[in-house]
Amino acid sequence: MTTHFLADTTTLLGRSLRHITRSMDTIITTAIMPIAMMLMFVYVFGGAIDTGSGPYVNYLLPGILLITVASGIAYTAVRLFTDMTSGIFERFQSMPIARSSVLWAHVLTSLAANLISLLVVVLVALLLGFRTSAGVPAWLAVTGILMLFTLALTWIAVIPGLTAKSVDGASAFSYPLIFLPFLSSAFVPTATMPGPVRAFAEHQPVTSIVNAIRALFTQQPVGTQLWIALAWCAGILALAYVLAMNAYRRRIA
């Protein structure tokens, strides 16, 4: 059964990746908004924001990386919605393949596409002056956090991809996720925020994830932030997976 699932997922993943390579503009488009936002904050607002020592782009980048992922997963929902409405899922159901492999192919395609977009954003940040003393282990840890975060948000994207009534509805869910980093420590220290906003910012998942990535980049003690960030990502991933699979079963029933 496991071999059957892996083989089917690999085959369907190849199909999805071919679609991505034929429309690389979607990956570039995903990176354009975060890059434009990074340019605006670095060159327009950066001089007015006091985040301590070091260039503002160093402080800013972790939040921009999360926004990149939140932007990219909208395409996953759209691709899944397109497959659902084009009749391709009905064809898959008539074939002897593992049912969940269809969803996993879309999820893994999202992971690959978002990693490319993240790499583009990091390269632009380097051109803007981003510097880090992080070694290979720290970079691997950052990559692992971003991959787990991408998987969690992608499984959230699967739900509207299966249940939306229109393409716009399939992608609209990503807007609150893109906005969430603005109510976190991504752009300014939470200590500068008014009481209720600060309370929310300090106890929502993005702040823990941003702080963990920032500490890894600066080689500062990560403390409990890393474990809180991983717990948030794992919890969201588990819940989204269960909800997505339930939605999938209802859709194909």
Model confidence at 155: pLDDT above 90: yes
- Structure confidence at residue 25 as a pLDDT band (50, 70, 90): low
74 pLDDT band, cuts 50/70/90, is confident
pLDDT digits (tens, 9 = 90+) for 188-205: 888 888 889 999 999 999
Q: Is residue 142 over pLDDT 60?
A: yes
Two structure tokens written together for 206: 């993005």
Spatial CA neighbour of 39 closest among 130, 105, 101: 130
Q: CB-based burial of residue 95 (10 Å sphere; 0-12 exposed, 13-18 middle, 19+ buried)?
A: exposed
Q: How far apart are CA 64 and CA 182, in angstroms?
A: 10
Q: Sorting pLDDT into bands at 50, 70 and 90, what band is 93?
A: low
3-state secondary structure of 156: helix
Q: pLDDT band at residue 64, thresholds of 50, 70 and 90?
A: very high
Confidence bin at 171 (pLDDT 50/70/90): confident
pTM summary value: 0.89
Q: What domain count does the chain have? A: 1
Q: What is the pLDDT of residue 213?
A: 95
Between the CA of residue 38 and those of 34, 42, 117, what are the distances in Å?
A: 6, 6, 14
Which pLDDT value is given to residue 151?
94
Task: Flag whether pLDDT at 8 surpasses 70.
Answer: no
| Domain region containing 241 | 2-252
pLDDT band at 137 (very low <50, low <70, confident <90, very high): very high
Tell me the pLDDT of the chain averaged across its residues: 84
User: Token match 């659902």: residue?
Assistant: 84
Separation CA 126–CA 105 (nearest Å): 32
Are the CB atoms for 71 and 176 separated by under 8 Å?
A: no
**How confident is residue 233, by pLDDT bands cut at 50, 70 and 90?**
very high
Between 20 and 108, the higher pLDDT residue? 108
Reply yes or no on whether the pLDDT at 145 is more than 70. Answer: yes
